[in-house]
Amino acid sequence: MMSRRAERSETPVGTEPERPGAKGRPTRSRKEALAARQRPLVPADRKEARKRSRAQADAERARARQALVTGDERHLPPQHSGADRRLVRDIIDSRHNVAEYFFPVAIVLMLIALVVPFFAPNLYTVMSTVMLAVLWGGIALCVLDAVFIRRRLRAALTERFGMVSPGLVSYGNMRAIQIRRWRLPKPQIRHGEQPRR
């Protein structure tokens, strides 16, 4: 009867029977694996590497710009990405905000205040009093609306996420100031619609 050692010595090297699930090649040594992963710190062709990285950055910026228009969550810039920021945007976009209507009116009033003294100097004192009253009234309404927005955002974020991350309420208030058609990312819901889940 032949011993196992003798059987092994008779089997030629490289003709060992295949085991089920075997990879069919020897395992690399650690030295070989590290050598295969090494890349030079400075690429051989710096100009080509710089051109490639610039093209990649341009493509990422183009994707981010497109995402701001379409609302594609995967490619939004970091300052706009996340479910919590999407909820804030939807809450602001679903309502009529005082500030988005007040600021255009304020700009028109300031332009009128610049023009009136040249064409109707005798009306200037009356008009300036009226304009000041309108401006201060509008500012007061904007502050009240901002307080209401703050409370609503805090309640909605706490209900959905259990907490309010820093900067989210300010993010919502800054969006409420902007005119709707100029907001980025573009509004994804109409006035009066419920925020998306």
Q: Range of 110's domain? A: 82-182
CA quadruple 187, 188, 190, 195: dihedral positive or negative? negative
Q: Is residue 152 part of a domain?
A: yes
Check whether residue 119 and residue 67 sit in a common domain.
no
Asked whether 176 and 92 are in contact (CB, 8 A), the reply is: yes
Q: Is residue 34 part of a domain?
A: no
Check whether residue 72 and residue 123 sit in a common domain.
no
- Look at residue 26 in the predicted model and tell me its pLDDT: 86
Check whether residue 56 and residue 94 sit in a common domain.
no
Check whether residue 95 and residue 66 sit in a common domain.
no
Check whether residue 63 and residue 121 sit in a common domain.
no
Check whether residue 125 and residue 178 sit in a common domain.
yes
- Look at residue 74 in the predicted model and tell me its pLDDT: 86
- Look at residue 112 in the predicted model and tell me its pLDDT: 87
pTM greater than 0.85 (yes/no): no
Check whether residue 101 and residue 177 sit in a common domain.
yes
Check whether residue 76 and residue 94 sit in a common domain.
no
Asked whether 149 and 176 are in contact (CB, 8 A), the reply is: yes
Phi, psi (degrees; rounded to nearest 5) at 194? -80, 145
Residue 81's closest CA among 190, 152, 183, 185?
A: 185
Q: Distance (Å, rounded) from C-alpha 100 to C-alpha 106?
A: 11
Q: Distance (Å, rounded) from C-alpha 122 to C-alpha 115?
A: 13
Q: Distance (Å, rounded) from C-alpha 111 to C-alpha 131?
A: 11
Locate all alpha helices (DSSP H) within 13-123, ordered by sequence. 30-37, 46-70, 83-93, 98-119
Q: What pLDDT, in 10s, does the model give residues 4-56?
A: 555 555 555 555 556 676 777 888 899 888 888 887 666 667 788 788 889 99
Q: Given a cut of 90, is residue 145 above it in pLDDT?
A: yes
Higher pLDDT, 113 or 148: 148
Specify the 3-state DSSP secondary structure of 11. Answer: coil
Q: Is residue 10 part of a domain?
A: no
- Look at residue 10 in the predicted model and tell me its pLDDT: 54
Residue 89's closest CA among 163, 197, 186?
A: 186
Question: Of the given ranges (46-50, 85-89, 129-133, 170-174), which has the lowest mean pLDDT?
Answer: 46-50
Most confident of 105-109, 118-122, 172-176: 172-176
Higher pLDDT, 197 or 70: 70
- Look at residue 43 in the predicted model and tell me its pLDDT: 66
The count of structural domains within the chain is 2
Q: Is residue 28 part of a domain?
A: no
Residue 169's closest CA among 81, 88, 86, 87?
A: 88
Check whether residue 108 and residue 54 sit in a common domain.
no
Q: Distance (Å, rounded) from C-alpha 149 to C-alpha 155?
A: 10
Asked whether 85 and 68 are in contact (CB, 8 A), the reply is: no
Averaged pLDDT of the chain: 85
Check whether residue 64 and residue 154 sit in a common domain.
no
Boundary-marking domain end, from 22, 56, 81: 81
- Look at residue 49 in the predicted model and tell me its pLDDT: 78
Check whether residue 60 and residue 133 sit in a common domain.
no
Check whether residue 89 and residue 51 sit in a common domain.
no
CA distances from 100 to 13, 128, 169, 173, 193 (A): 81, 23, 17, 11, 18
